[in-house]
Every structure is written in structure tokens, then in C-alpha cells.
Structure 1
Amino acid sequence: MASTAERIACLGQIHKYLKTVLFTDSAGAVVQFDEYGDIHSEFDILNWIVYPNQTLHSIIIGQYNPRSSDQLMINETVIRWSPTFNQTPHSACSEICLPGYRKSPRVSHSSCCYDCIPCSDGEISNNTDMETCFKCSRNEWPNAEKIICMPKIVIYLSYEEPLGKSLALVSIILFVINCLVMITFIKYQNTPVVKANNQDLSYILLISLKLCFLCTLIFIGHPVEVTCLLRQTIFGVIFSIAVSSILAKTTIVIIAFNATRPESKLNHWVGSNLFNYIVLVCTVFQIVICSVWLGTFPPFPYYNMEDEVGKILAECNEGSIVGLYCVLGYMGLLAIVSFIIAFLARKLPDLFNEATFISFSMLVFCSVWVSFIPAYLSSKGKYVVAVEIFAILASSSGLLGFIFVPKCYIILFKSEMNTKAYVIRHHMTTYRQMEK
């Protein structure tokens, strides 16, 4: 058996011999190898046809000329395929990969064998038989076929969609109801029901609730710098006015009842400006919290591209989440204090004692905002805004409904109770019962 060296020497001799070969073929063309063993002659490409009687026939379908710029030329129209083929057979073992797909080589197969797999999320291919897919930019996302990159859809709570329209409509309806209640109080301002528990505080509370209903409209629409700055701060300050008014009302109930005792030292507080100071001080403290928040890490518009695939969430970044929780926590503190005082004063013998109604309103208020925090943290995009709007509307409605609806009922449907004579008779009856 010949060794490897001998075989290499033999191949070298053959190569040396081929370089000297020169002959003329049957067509009269000169065939000659160059020094590298390549042939520079022109060749015909034949299509051989085998007939049923086993005879052969050839058709020239093209040429191969290594000296021409177009080395290979084939005329597909003259090719004759076997009747078993209904189209031109593929030379590869795989189909063509369409746009939206890429080629994935098959393991342990030749290079012409591959699988066509869809482009990954966020990628496209816009041609056939592409080796790789191209990634879209951050602001774009592939279409359904993964052929082109399209701008991502910007998502936010708008007035055009049903959810935004519904919340805006509810806000307007509650605002109108609040206005009707205030008109009723102004019309009957000289009656005992309206005068009870400080008439001025009732007006302050009604106005602040009216603004609470309207402030929800700032939350709807495309977030911009101004609305992001105003959303939480205006809401926080207005709600602080409302809750501090309720705190002042509950304080009035306690002081007014205890001031009727002869030995009480609270007489000089009745009719004073103490209750207006309570509202002022509590509101100013909330304004300070909001000012520090806006002065350090204020909210700003933000395009969130991570939470939802293929979408851009236009939202307000709160800047400092601590600032938001301080605003909410302060309101919660005022509400809890108001609830405790109102709960303690709920059974005081006063005809128009609203402490019981305030207790229920504060209970609803606290329940809504305790439920709001986990719902707020678990929501995304426009539903975060919708959850907060719902919390504002629900808690404001609770205050309006529990505190003012019972009074309106007496004014409109129990007018015999809303007289000075009825109040005097009630007080005299209560005084006799206390003496017994």
C-alpha cells in the first residue's frame, strides 16, 4: 500500500502532466489547462432527456465560460423536466425563508439545510432567506408579520375612550349635585339645620368638595409637565381643606356640648375663630409638604416602554414616591383624628348632631384610601390614573352623601323639624330628661 508521501508525489506528477495537456474536442474547440490546473475553455450545459425506449437526447440550455464576466448562462425556458415534476425542483433541502423569518442551520446537516424560524419579539426581517433579524428602535415595534417596524402606540387615559369619558361624566354629575346642595343651603341659610355646627365651615367643606370633583379632570388626558406638577399637589391641598373642615366641625360638637355646663371653661371658645384657625393651620401644613416635594423631586412626564410589550405608557412619574405617601399619609392622619373625635361625640344629645354622619363619612374615606394603595401599586398605565380618580370620587361622594344629604332631606321633606320652635321644644324635653 502506498504511503501518504507517495500519494502526494503521484498527485503532483498528475498535476504537472495536466498543465501540458492540449487537445481539440469534437466541436473543434481547443481544450488546455493553465499552470494552476484550471480550464479556460467554454462549455455547453446539456439537458439530457431519457425516452421510454431508453434512447437519449440532449438539449443545450446554457454555457459556462470562465473568461466571461457572465460565467454561467442558463435559459430556463428550454429546460424539459420529467412529467413527475410540476415545478422546478429545489437544489436545497429547505424551503425559502419568507420575510418575517430567519434561517436557523440544522445540526449535523449540510449548509444548504436549515429551518425557518420567526423573528423574536421586537425584531424584523424584510427580505427572503435572511440569516439574522434586525431589532427595531426603542420607539418602534414590529407589525404582525414582523416585516416592518412601526411606531409604538402611546397609551394614556384620554377623554376619547369609554373609561375616560365615564370618569369625566361622573365627575361632572357629582359637581352638579354638589352645586345643588350648596344652592339649597344658601336658600335656607337662616334655618336651624344650616346654622347648626358652624355655617361657614359647611360652605368651606362644600366648596372644597366641589373642587375635589373638578380636580379629577386634570388626571385625564396626555400627561404634560404642568398637569404632572398640579395633579397630586392640588388634590392633596383641596382634600386637606375638606378633611380639616370636618375636623373643625367635630371639634365644634364637643366644645358646644361641654360649654353648656355651668362649670365649663369652654364658653369663651364658642363663636371664636378657633375653628377657622384649625382649617388654616392644617391646610398650611399640607402646602408645606407639597412645596418641599415640588422643590426637591417634583413629578414629571415619563414615557414608560418597559411595562407593556409593544406599547408606550405616557404617565406622570411621581419623582419622589415618599412625597406622594407623605401627602396621602397626612390626609389619612387628619381623617383618623376626625373619625375618633366624631365617634366619641356621636351620642351627644343634640338635635342636629352630625357627629354620627361624620363618623360614617370618615370610615368610608379611610376605607377607600386604604384600599387605594395596593390597587395603585398593582395597576399599570392608564389604570393607575383611573384607580386614583375613582378613589377621589368615592371618598368625596362619601363626605357629601353622609354629611349633607341628611340635612337636605330635613330641609326639603321634613320642614316641620327645621323651625326654631321645634328646636326649643326638643331642647326642653332633653333638659327635663337629663334632670330626671
Structure 2
Amino acid sequence: MPKHLHYKALYRTQDHSLGITSVAFSSAGTLLATAGLDGRVCIWEVKSHKLLHIYTSNTPVISLTWIKNGEDSVVLGYEDGNVATLSITPNTLNLAGFCAHDYATEIIANEGALVATAARDQVRVWEWHPLAPWPLVIALAGPTRTSENLSTEILVVSLHWTSWGDHAAVLVVCYQNHGIQMYESVNWTLVHSVQIRDPIARTDLSPDGQYIALYNLSKGIEVRRVSNGNLRCAFPLDANEKRLLPVLFIHGGDALVAGTTNGVVSLWHLETSQKIQDLRHDRQEKVLALAGHYDNDQDQFVIVTGTYGCRGYATLRWWLAVEKTHEDDDLGQPPASSGVSTQILDWWKTYTVSVGIAVIVTLLAFALDIISLGESEQQRIMGGNDMYV
């Protein structure tokens, strides 16, 4: 990330109630899709921040992803294990879905005509098309049980697609307690694995596929080389935090951003291992959904954060990278320690100034009244000289 850039709060909206579970830009970055526990899926025009479409169901939507190289199809994962394709046209939304898992479909990843989905220990790969159901390509068996991990739960936390050696499409499966496994997409054989000793939460793969960022539940954020698992850099966070916080490579893999439960979304520069900036939300807001995009035509970097709705609503925020000035280290951002909204802070500032002015005017009037009195009367009002002895 260029040092002269600084993220500024650009736009916010509260069109979701409950929690925002997933946000994603379309391939070209013209549209943004958001999903939530309220059963809503919202489609936004990125340039204008205009809400174009709302699809509502009675079942919480846990995950989503855009079908690549298109701007008209979003795959949704539901709490009841269903998956569906939301097809977007200028005037209508069409939905076609089926039951894919026995548990909530928490993760979806797309590569070409293949869609991988995960629910707890289940990983399944499908041949996608707009209508449902999709043909099942394979249900992966999962990691091998050993004496060391026999008692630990098998839980998939992330899925990614990348290339590896001579293999054009490889599925990367990240497990909370069983490391990382990579499968080629022809015969679905295991081609590589990375052992991680500690339990991990969400992960992200760098654009070149060389590094993986992971949230280590014992130590904080780590960035490791995929080829050998060696640690590149680490950013310690609260060791007591056990949520599945997201991590995301931005700026072509030069920087990293992570979710939060304390209202402070942090950005780090990987080359220097230094923190770049904090994107400050309200103190109690939990940010469990992140997305980033670079608009090549406008030469603009955008980050979108979605909160989990701890106050009965969920907030979606746009952040735009702008030229940094000497005075805007935290420009346009509410204080992390406030725990209150920007509107309340503005009201409190106005109220404090008004009260201060009223007190000053009253004291000046009182002083003028004292000056106009005689000396004996002044001593009587002020309590006499004895109070200073």
C-alpha cells in the first residue's frame, strides 16, 4: 500500500438488521453483494452506493460469492444447508437452489464452472449452472485421522482456489485443527499440505498464491509461505479472542486487513510489518465481514466493512483510499473509545459548548454586580475575610 494513501470513511448505511455475515465485490467491481442473518441479500452499485435490489427470505444467509467473470450471478449459502443462485437482471431477481449440506453452508468459493461449498467437516464441489440442482463433482473425504488429532473436531474454516505447479486449478481447504490441504481439480488427489500446530480461524490467500494469512486463535494474525509453512510476519492480537475473525489481503497482497470485535479494524504493511492505520467503528461493533477492491479505471482502493449488529441493526461502511495530509491520521472516524454514534458525539460537543458559554456569561454578570457594590457589602456576599484564614 503506498505510504501517501490513507483510508477515509466515505459512506455508511443500515439496510440490514441483525448481523452482516458476508460482503463481496463482483469481478469487475461495479456491484457489491451483502448478506445477513436477517435473510436479506442486498445488491449495491459501487460507484453511486445506490441500493439496486433486495432479496428477502425467512432463513439467515451465512455466505455468498459472485460467479467470476460476470456481474449477474451470486451464489448464496443458507443456515439450513441450502445453496442457491441469485440471477440479477435490470428488473427482476431469479432464485434457484437446493439442499447441499446437512449443516449451515458457511463457505463458498468459485473457480470457473466449479463451486466448492463447506459446512462443518463437509467439503463438496459442484458443477455450477444458473438452474438447480447442480451435479455433484466430488465430496472430499477430509484430513487423515492421527493419534494427535483424533479427539479434535474436524471443522472447515476457509476455502480458496489457486494454481499450483502444473495444476491450473487447486482447491485449498483450511481446517481449524487439521492444517491446510490442497487438491488438484482433475483427479482430486492431495498435492500439498501445510501443518499448523495451533487452531486457526479464517484465512485468505494472496493474489499470487504464495502466501496465506490466517487468524491463529492462540497468537493472532500470521502470514505464512504456502510452499513450506514458514512464517513471514505476525501481528499479535487479543489472545482471548476466539471468534472466526476474517483476514483479507489488499493492495495486491502488499497489505492486510482484519476483522474485529472492539470496533477497530486494523491495516498492516507486510514488507515492514508495521501498522498502517485503524479504521474506527463504534466501540462495541463487531466487524466479521470484509471486502476490498481496486478500481483500475478510477485508480481507487475501496474497503467495505460489515458489522454484526450488536444493537439490533447492522452497519455497512465504505472506506476510500485518499491522499494523506498531516492532519488526518484518523480523518472522518469516530473515536474508538467512545462507544457511541457520531450523531451523539456531535450533540454532546454542541451541548458542552453551549453550557460553557452560559456559565461564563453568568459569572461575568455576577462579577459586575459585585464590583458595583460597596466594600462592606462585597465582604458579606463573599463570606468575609475569615474564609481565607
Q: Is TM-score (shorter-chain normalized) higher than 0.5?
A: no
Q: Report the structure, 1 or 2, having the larger helix content.
A: 1
Larger Rg: 1
Task: Normalising by structure 1, report the TM-score.
Answer: 0.19
Higher strand fraction (1 or 2): 2
TM-score under structure 2 length normalisation: 0.21
